[in-house]
Structures are given as structure tokens and as C-alpha cells.
Amino acid sequence: MSRVLLTGASGFIASHVLELLLQRGYSVRFTVRSEEKAQRLLEAHKQYKDKLDYVLVKDIAQPGAFDEAVKSDPPFTGILNVASPFHLNVTDPKTELIDPAVNGTLGILGATKAFASTVRRIVITSSSAAIVDPNKPNNGAGYTYTENDWNPITLEEGLLNPSNGYRASKKLAEKAAWDFVEQERPNFDIATINPPLVLGPVKPYVSSLSSLNTSNERVLDFIQGKAKNGAPPSGVYIWVDVRDLALSHILALENLEAGGKRFFITEGYFSNQKIIDVIRENFPQFVAGLPEEDQPNGGYPQGLYKADNSRSKQLLGLTYRGLGVSVTDLVKSLVELGAGR
Ligand code: NDP
């Protein structure tokens, strides 16, 4: 039986990774920031109680944050590092986004090298923000992004505003991870998972409407009528379902050939308009709050880059759910949390 460490298990994506790991027979230690979050996860997975334990890691930015978490008997063979801040309500991008992302990533790599010599692979949740350059002219029309691309954003640009800060946090953290492996030559290899906007159902034991994760917020806004006078531009135009993304983490952990590789995990294009169309078709109770036909509805820009997901399909064997299923399941989960009441 394989034993793995999963960081940030109270998050939207990691909660799906945790569920899949347990279903596949792994013994899992997870990290969260509070006792209350740990207890909610244990309660939700009672049937796996012999295979589940946790360590509190209150702030991944702190030196030595993971030193105890990586020590285990029986020992770990793999680690999935998902924890990293993803919210845009920050006043200081450096201390609130960039430092936790970079220090957290280097912290887990360093702790593993020092204290967990049995670990063979660390899968790191990076982002399409580490790949796509949002400043390419004409939205990158005519260009196809692959795992060979890096967003050119610098630390200085990352300090300018929260959304730059988030992009820089993901790019700099991932770069730091690859540099660590090259310079330190540890016993393990790494694989990075680079998703764009992630949509899909939220687990009721990690979410509430008031603390919904960042990437699903736009869908909650639509069903709460906040875009009635017009939907904003989509901002990002590629997406993936959280369940497919969770599976990609585990496939990247298990597949020998995945070591040393980045994986661009995306189903393809989406727009706010397409999300709104799915809600209009499937949830009559929310139609009155959606933008009128003559209002801006967040469609596609004129030119647009392409995204190549072929490595994820060929090497990991990943298949992708469509936007309709993902948005429908997300809205159902929001209704269960009380949306529309
Ligand atoms: P969530 O906000 O739901 O999850 C983030 C997790 O990281 C939470 O468990 C959070 O803990 C933990 N965390 C954040 N900062 C710290 C810190 N300083 N110390 C300890 N723990 C911390 O977001 P997602 O699930 O969406 O994101 C998970 C990962 O996926 C991140 O690495 C993110 O960058 C990446 N990603 C997400 C995308 C998306 O669209 N959702 C797209 C691309 C990449 P707590 O719950 O206690 O705050």
C-alpha cells in the first residue's frame, strides 16, 4: 500500500484529490491550517479512518513549516503539494501571495530532501498562469501554448496588483521547484500540473457560500443575479473540471514517465457567456437574474491563443468532461449549500 502526503486538503481542488486518493486505496496524511478543518475532513471520510491522519501546517510561508509533516512511519512514497494562496483580496502581493507560494514550494522540497528519503515523486499544483502570457498582442491569436512556454512575468510586475501577484506567485514557485531539482539533485523527481480556470462541484464539508473558492465565484455571482446588467469579460478563456484535474494529479504521481514533466491540463475554451447559457438551460429558477439578451454577456474576444493538452491525453490517458456537466454539477452543489434560498 502506498502512503502519500497531501498539502492544503481543505481547499477546493485538494478536497477532490483527497477523495480520489482514498478511493484508490492510498494511505494519506493531509495538512490543513486548523483543527476544525482537520476534523471536518476526518468526519467526511470516516470509512477510511485507518488510512487517514493529519498534521497542522498553519503557514506554509514559514521556514521549516513542513519539517514534521514529511516524517512518517510507515514512510511516504509520494507527495502532492496543492496548498498555495489563491485569492485576489490582498493588499500586499509579496507577503500574501508570492512568499507563501515560493517558500511553501521550496519548503516542502527541502523538508523532503532532508527528512523523507523514501519519497520518489512530488506532484506540484502549478497553473496555466506559469505558462500563458496575458500580454501577448491580440490575445495571442495564432499562437499555441504548450508545456514549453513560460509566462515572462517578473517579481517586480507581480508587485503591481493582486492579479499580477497571483500569476507571479505561480510562475516563480514553479520555476523555483525546477531549479531546486536541478541544483540539489534530490532522490525524488517532480511533475507539475498546470491548469487554467478550474470549475466544478464543491465538497460541502470544505465550502460555504461565504467562503467559496476563487475560481467558482463567477458562477455564484451569475446565479445570485450580480451580472444581470451585463457579465464581465471572462478574463481567462480556458478551463478544466476539478474532477479531471484531481485525477491528473494522481496519474502524474503513478506514471513513471511523468517525472520531470509539466502537464497543461485543460479541456479547452470556455467563456462567461457559455457558463450563462448552461445555467439558463438547466436552472429555470436562476434565469431572471442572468444578463438580458441585449446586455454584454462575456463572450470571446476577436483573437485568441490555442492551448495544447495532448501530453495529458497521451501520457496520462486523461479524458475531459464538458463545460455543461461541470457547470451543472457546480450549480447543484451551490444549491445544496443554500444558493437561491
Ligand atoms: P483554495 O483556496 O480552495 O485552496 C488553497 C489551499 O491552500 C487551502 O487549503 C488553503 O488553506 C491553503 N493555503 C493557502 N495559503 C496558505 C498558507 N499560507 N499556509 C497554509 N495553507 C495555505 O484554492 P484552489 O483549490 O482553487 O487552489 C489549489 C491550488 O491550485 C493552488 O496551488 C492554486 O494556485 C492552484 N490553481 C487553482 C486554479 C483554480 O482555478 N482554482 C487554477 C490554477 C491553479 P485554507 O483553506 O485554510 O485557507
Asked whether residue 148 is assigned to any structural domain, the reply reads yes
Spacing, Cα 303 to ligand 1 middle (Å) = 31
Spacing, Cα 128 to ligand 1 middle (Å) = 15
pLDDT in tens, 194-219: 999 999 999 999 989 999 999 999 99
What is the rounded average pLDDT of the residues 145-157? 98
Please work out whether the CB of residue 125 comes within 6 Å of at least one atom of ligand 1: yes
Asked whether residue 303 is assigned to any structural domain, the reply reads yes
Asked whether residue 294 is assigned to any structural domain, the reply reads yes
Query: Residue 56's beta-bridge partner residues?
Result: 32
Asked whether residue 341 is assigned to any structural domain, the reply reads no
- Cell 484529490 sits at which residue? 17
Please work out whether the CB of residue 86 comes within 6 Å of at least one atom of ligand 1: yes
Confidence of residue 307 (pLDDT cuts 50, 70, 90): very high
For residue 125, which atom of ligand 1 is closest to its CA?
Answer: 32
Asked whether residue 42 is assigned to any structural domain, the reply reads yes
pLDDT over threshold 90, residue 295: no
Domains in the chain, number: 1
Please work out whether the CB of residue 82 comes within 6 Å of at least one atom of ligand 1: yes
For residue 83, which atom of ligand 1 is closest to its CA?
Answer: 7
Asked whether residue 145 is assigned to any structural domain, the reply reads yes
Spacing, Cα 82 to ligand 1 middle (Å) = 7
Please work out whether the CB of residue 103 comes within 6 Å of at least one atom of ligand 1: no
CATH assignment of the domain containing 98: 3.40.50.720
The residue range of the domain holding 321 is: 3-336
Spacing, Cα 142 to ligand 1 middle (Å) = 32
pLDDT in tens, 178-190: 999 999 999 999 9
Please work out whether the CB of residue 198 comes within 6 Å of at least one atom of ligand 1: yes
Asked whether residue 324 is assigned to any structural domain, the reply reads yes
Q: Which amino acid residue places its CA nearest to atom 39 of ligand 1?
A: 198
Rounded to whole angstroms, the Cα distance separating 307 from 213 reads 24
Instruction: Enter the pTM of the model.
Output: 0.98
Percent of the chain with pLDDT over 70: 100
pLDDT in tens, 102-144: 999 999 999 999 999 999 999 999 999 999 999 999 999 999 9
